[in-house]
C-alpha cells in the first residue's frame, strides 16, 4: 500500500526514481544482504515463536493430540491463573497510573527548585538497575521485623507516636498473687478494697530491659487517711529471684506508668497511674471496688504490617515497581514540559490563575498526549512483570502475588504444562496487539512523509 504514497515510491522498478533513488544499480541484492541477518533472526526468534505458541496452545500438554480450547478454558478455571489474572488487573490499573501521576508531579515540581536535576537523577536511577537487584533491595525494605526492615521500622515509629505502646508486655501475676485474670488480658484483684486500705499488686514477667526507663525502686504503699493507696511493681529481681513473695524488696522496680482502674459493678469509678516507684492512690470513691489492671498495659508491642503476607504482597510489589518506573514517567513528562509553549502558562498566570489552576487547566491538557504514551508504555511493561514478583514474594505468598508472566513460567517450566503456558502467552500477546496496531498506524503516517 505504500506504493500509492507520494514519497519513497518503493515499487519494483520505479519509472521516475525519486528522492532516495541513486545511481548505483545493484539495489535489490545489496538490500537483501543488508536485511538478511535481521530478518532471519527476527523470523526465527520472534515471528516463528508467535506462530508456534498459537498452534501449541491448541494441543494438550504432551503435544500429541489436539485439545481445542481446553487450554484457554484453563485460563478461567485454573485457580493459579485466576489469581494471576486478578492481580494483573490490579497491576495494570494501579501501577501505570500511579507511576505516571507521580512522574507528572515530580516533573512539574522539579522545575521550581535549583537542584531539580539532582532530584531527577535520584528518582531515575532505579531504571538502570536490574529488577533482581531492585527485588533484593525491596525484600530487605519489607522485612517483617521492624528491627530489620525499614518499612516496618518507619511504620511502627509512626504508629507508636500516635498510639501509646504498652510498657509491660508479658507481665502476669506470680504465685499466691492477689490478682487473677479478668479476661481479655486484664487482671483484677480477687477481693474488694475499702477506704484506708493499702493494696499491693505485684506482677512478674517483664524482661528487665523492657522496663520503663523511669522505673525507680519500688516503694511499699503508706496508709493515707481514707484514701486507698497501693503499689504495683515487678516482684522479681534478676539474679535475686522473687525475694519476699508479694512484698516490696529494695532491689525491685516499680511499674512506672501502669494504669489501674477501680471497678464497681462492672463500671470504672476511678483511674490512677502508678508513679515511678509504683505507688498510686484512689479516693474514697473507690471504696468497695475491685482494682483492675486493664489489658492495654500488657499488649504485645506493635510489630508493624506483614508487607509480604498474602493480603499486602501485591501492593507492596507494585510499590517497588513504582519506585523503579516513576523516573521513566518523570523524564518523559519533563521532556514534554520543556517543549511546552511557556507563553500559555504565563498568560494564564497573568490572567490571575493560581498555580493549581494553571496546572489543572493548562499544563495537564497540553501534556495529555505524553501522559497517554507514558501510561500505555507502562501498561505493556506491567503485563510482562516477572522478576519483581519472582524475587520479592516469599515462597509462602507467591501464590497470592501471582501474575500471568510468572504463571506462564511456572506452567511452562516448573509444572510441565506447555499447552496452558502457550495459551497464557497468546493471551498476553492479544493484550498488546492494540498497542502494536497503534504503533504501526502512527508510524505509517511518518514513513509516508
| Alpha carbon distance 282, 293 (integer Å) | 14
**Which residues are CB-neighbours of 22 under 8 A, at least 6 positions away?**
none
How far apart CA 72 and CA 52 sit, in angstroms, is: 16
- Contact between 333 and 368 under an 8 Å Cβ cutoff? The reply is no
Q: How far is the CB of 8 from another protein (least distance, A)?
A: 6
Q: Give the residue carrying C-alpha cell 514534554.
A: 336
Name which position in 15, 45, 244, 414 contacts another protein (CB under 8 A).
Answer: 45
Using CB under 8 A, which residues numbered 382 to 401 contact another protein?
383-384, 386-387, 390-391, 394-395
Q: Is 11 in the site for another protein (CB under 8 A)?
A: yes
**C-alpha distances in angstroms, 284 versus 279, 325, 346?**
16, 66, 74
Residue 351: helix, strand or coil by DSSP? coil
Contact with another protein (CB under 8 A): which of 96, 103, 149, 202?
149
Phi-psi map region of 246: left, alpha, beta (phi>0 left; psi -120 to 50 alpha): left
Q: Is 219 in the site for another protein (CB under 8 A)?
A: no
Backbone phi, psi, residue 181, to 5°: -60, 140
- Binding to another protein (CB under 8 A) within 409-428 occurs at 409, 412-413, 418, 421-422, 424-426, 428
Closest to another protein by CB, 50 vs 89, is 50
Smallest separation (angstroms) from another protein to the CB of 135: 7
Residue 268 engages another protein in binding (rule: CB under 8 A): no
**315 contributes a contact to another protein by CB under 8 A:** no
DSSP string covering 147-165, please?
Answer: TT-HHHHHHHHHHHHHSPP
Residue from 59, 72, 91, 106 binding another protein (CB under 8 A): 106
The CB-of-256 to another protein minimum distance in angstroms stands at 26
Which of the ranges 126-134, 187-195, 215-223, 237-245 carries the binding residues for another protein, by CB under 8 A? 126-134
CA distance linking residue 216 with residue 276, whole number of Å: 5
260 belongs to the binding site for another protein (CB under 8 A):
no
141 binds another protein (CB under 8 A): yes
Using the rule CB under 8 A, which residue among 136, 204, 269, 340 binds another protein? 136
Selected from 302, 349, 359, 400, the binder of another protein by CB under 8 A is: 349
Amino acid at each position: 500500500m505504500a506504493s500509492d504514497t507520494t514519497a519513497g515510491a518503493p515499487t519494483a522498478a520505479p519509472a521516475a526514481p525519486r528522492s532516495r533513488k541513486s545511481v548505483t544499480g545493484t539495489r535489490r541484492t545489496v538490500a537483501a544482504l543488508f536485511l538478511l541477518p535481521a530478518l532471519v533472526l527476527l523470523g526465527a526468534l520472534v515471528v516463528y515463536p508467535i506462530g508456534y505458541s498459537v498452534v501449541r496452545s491448541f494441543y494438550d500438554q504432551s503435544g500429541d493430540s489436539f485439545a481445542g480450547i481446553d487450554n484457554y478454558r484453563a485460563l478461567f478455571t485454573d485457580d493459579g491463573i485466576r489469581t494471576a489474572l486478578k492481580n494483573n488487573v490490579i497491576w495494570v490499573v494501579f501501577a501505570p497510573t500511579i507511576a505516571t501521576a507521580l512522574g507528572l508531579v515530580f516533573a512539574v515540581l522539579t522545575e521550581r527548585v535549583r537542584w531539580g536535576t539532582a532530584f531527577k537523577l535520584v528518582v531515575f536511577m532505579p531504571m538502570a538497575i536490574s529488577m533482581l537487584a531492585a527485588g533484593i533491595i525491596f525484600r530487605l525494605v519489607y522485612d517483617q521485623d521492624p528491627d530489620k526492615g525499614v518499612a516496618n521500622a518507619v511504620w511502627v515509629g509512626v504508629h507508636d507516636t500516635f498510639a501509646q505502646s504498652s510498657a509491660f508486655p508479658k507481665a502476669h501475676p506470680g504465685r499466691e498473687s492477689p490478682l487473677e485474670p479478668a479476661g481479655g488480658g486484664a487482671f483484677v484483684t480477687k477481693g474488694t478494697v475499702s477506704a484506708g486500705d493499702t493494696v499491693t499488686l505485684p506482677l512478674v514477667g517483664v524482661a528487665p530491659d523492657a522496663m520503663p526507663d523511669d522505673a525507680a525502686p519500688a516503694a511499699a504503699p503508706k496508709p493515707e487517711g481514707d484514701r486507698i493507696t497501693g503499689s504495683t511493681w515487678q516482684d522479681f529481681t534478676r539474679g535475686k529471684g522473687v525475694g519476699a513473695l508479694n512484698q516490696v524488696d529494695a532491689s525491685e522496680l516499680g511499674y512506672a506508668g501502669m494504669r489501674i482502674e477501680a471497678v464497681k459493678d462492672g463500671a470504672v469509678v476511678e483511674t490512677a497511674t502508678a508513679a515511678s516507684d509504683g505507688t498510686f492512690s484512689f479516693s474514697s470513691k473507690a471504696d468497695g471496688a475491685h482494682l483492675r489492671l486493664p489489658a492495654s498495659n500488657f499488649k504485645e508491642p506493635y510489630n508493624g504490617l506483614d508487607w509480604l503476607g498474602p493480603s499486602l504482597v501485591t501492593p507492596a510489589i507494585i510499590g517497588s515497581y513504582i519506585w523503579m518506573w516513576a523516573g521513566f514517567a518523570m523524564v518523559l513528562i519533563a521532556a514534554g514540559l520543556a517543549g511546552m509553549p511557556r507563553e500559555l502558562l504565563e498568560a494564564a498566570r497573568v490572567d490571575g490563575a493560581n498555580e493549581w489552576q494553571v496546572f489543572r487547566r493548562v499544563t495537564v491538557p497540553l501534556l495529555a498526549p505524553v501522559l497517554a504514551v507514558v501510561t500505555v508504555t507502562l501498561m505493556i511493561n506491567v503485563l510482562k512483570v516477572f522478576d519483581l514478583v519472582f524475587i520479592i514474594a516469599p515462597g509462602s505468598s507467591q501464590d497470592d502475588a501471582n501474575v500471568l508472566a510468572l504463571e506462564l513460567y511456572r506452567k511452562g517450566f516448573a509444572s510441565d504444562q506447555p499447552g496452558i503456558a502457550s495459551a497464557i502467552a497468546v493471551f498476553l500477546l492479544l493484550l498488546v496487539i492494540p498497542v502494536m496496531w497503534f504503533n504501526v498506524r502512527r508510524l505509517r503516517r511518518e514513513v509516508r512523509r
